[in-house]
Homo-oligomer: A and B are copies of this chain.
Amino acid sequence: MYMVSLKDIASRCKVSVATVSKALNDHNDVGAATKEMIRSTAREMGYFPNSSARALKTNRTYNIGVLFVDEAQSGLTHDYFAHVLDSFKKTVEASGYDITFINSTHNKHMSYLEHSHYRGVDGVVIACVDFYDPQVMELIHSDLPVVTIDHVFDYRIAVLSDNIQGMHDLVEYVYSKGHRKIAYIAGDDTSVTKNRLGSFYRSLEKKGVEVPDEYVIQASYRHPDMAYEHTQELLKLPDRPTCILYSDDYSAIGGINAINDAGLSIPGDISIAGYDGSYISQIISPKLTTIKQDTQQIGKVAAEKLIHLIENPKTTLIQRMLINGSLIEGDSVADIN
């Protein structure tokens, strides 16, 4: 298939290539009549610019790099990330950008930064990676526009799910339902987990509730089987909790299974809550009480901030964007007042 170029339009319109370019880019040194004439014939010839040629000349690709690597290599199948990314993608596309994944296991081994330069991305969004990976650090310290999600770096814009507020709301809610013996099966040791754990302790301390050490278990995200075992441990405790919080909805499902297998019912015998507000959490029975992270908003804000950074390079404003979560009141927490 033949691609129509500026030259084709130029010869058809009997003007120079430069004039065509300027007409299409709406420069003001080309007459109104010719401009309109050029534009209409461009339209009817089905012209679209060659993005490679344009990128070569302008150093702008209208391509945004996406870096995401999680410990489990789940890639695109990571539920939370997939939702964030989907929203991110829709937002940047509305501004004419496309996205390119730079977390590649390329045959020619490039670092993340090298891959970013190779593809000439205009900016990069970083999410859910091992933020202390030297390659990630290299990217962070580069001169590329960067926005990070759920992790804070100096001199970089970060978009963060407000885990402190989320966990606080969840604890307040559970407390309001009369629970005082609250356990927490937490996720891997990340900054997200640290925030949630801290908020968990502080919120309960403020209420004057003590948390025995054996009520808090550090486990792993998205590991229902691990959560299953830890739930069993909690159930075996002499003074067992009346409510268990999980690191995420998947883990909570592992907990549900453990509780059911122990012959106990939810929320009759024991209450539970998840985190994330995933789709699945609302179609299982009992519907999970959980904190819905606003993935749609996180992706959208990250996209907007990154585009703004790209299009206003002098901007040096460092921002921390906190995105609120919201409580979904399911049927998994009993009122024991």
Chain A interfacial positions (CB closer than 8 Å to B): 1, 3, 46, 48-53, 55-56, 61, 74-77, 79, 82-83, 85-86, 89-90, 93-96, 98-101, 104-108, 110, 114, 117-120, 142-144, 224-225, 250, 253-254, 256-257, 260-261, 279-280, 283-285
In angstroms, Cα B46 to Cα A68, docked, is 24
Beta-carbon contact of A93 and B105 below 8 Å: yes
Between A77, A83, A93, the greatest number of chain B beta carbons within 10 A of the residue's beta carbon is seen for A77
Residue on B with the closest CB to A81?
Answer: B76
Q: Are A119 and B51 in contact (CB under 8 A)?
A: yes
Q: In the assembled complex, which residues on chain B have CB atoms less than 8 Å from the CB atom of A254?
A: 283
Q: How many chain copies?
A: 2
Pick from B76, B96, B119: contact of A108, CB below 8 A. B96
- Please tell me if the beta carbons of A86 and B77 are within 8 angstroms of each other in the complex: yes
Give A77 to B100 CA distance when docked, in angstroms.
Answer: 17
Contact partner of A52 (CB less than 8 A), chosen from B61, B90, B106, is B61
Given contacts A253-B284, A254-B283, A106 and B101 within 8 Å (CB-CB): no
A110 proximity list for chain B (CB < 8 A): 48
CB distance A117 to B52 under 8 Å?
A: no
Least Cβ–Cβ distance between A296 and chain B, in angstroms: 10
Residue contact A75 to B89, C-beta cutoff 8 Å: yes
Q: List 12 A-B contacts (CB under 8 A).
A: A49-B118, A50-B120, A51-B119, A51-B120, A76-B83, A77-B279, A89-B101, A94-B107, A95-B107, A96-B107, A98-B101, A253-B280
Closest-CB distance, A276 to chain B (whole angstroms):
13
Supplied contacts A50-B118, A95-B107, 20 more A-B pairs, CB within 8 Å:
A1-B143, A1-B144, A49-B118, A52-B61, A52-B120, A77-B82, A77-B83, A77-B86, A77-B279, A82-B82, A94-B106, A96-B106, A98-B100, A98-B119, A100-B100, A253-B280, A254-B283, A256-B285, A260-B285, A280-B280
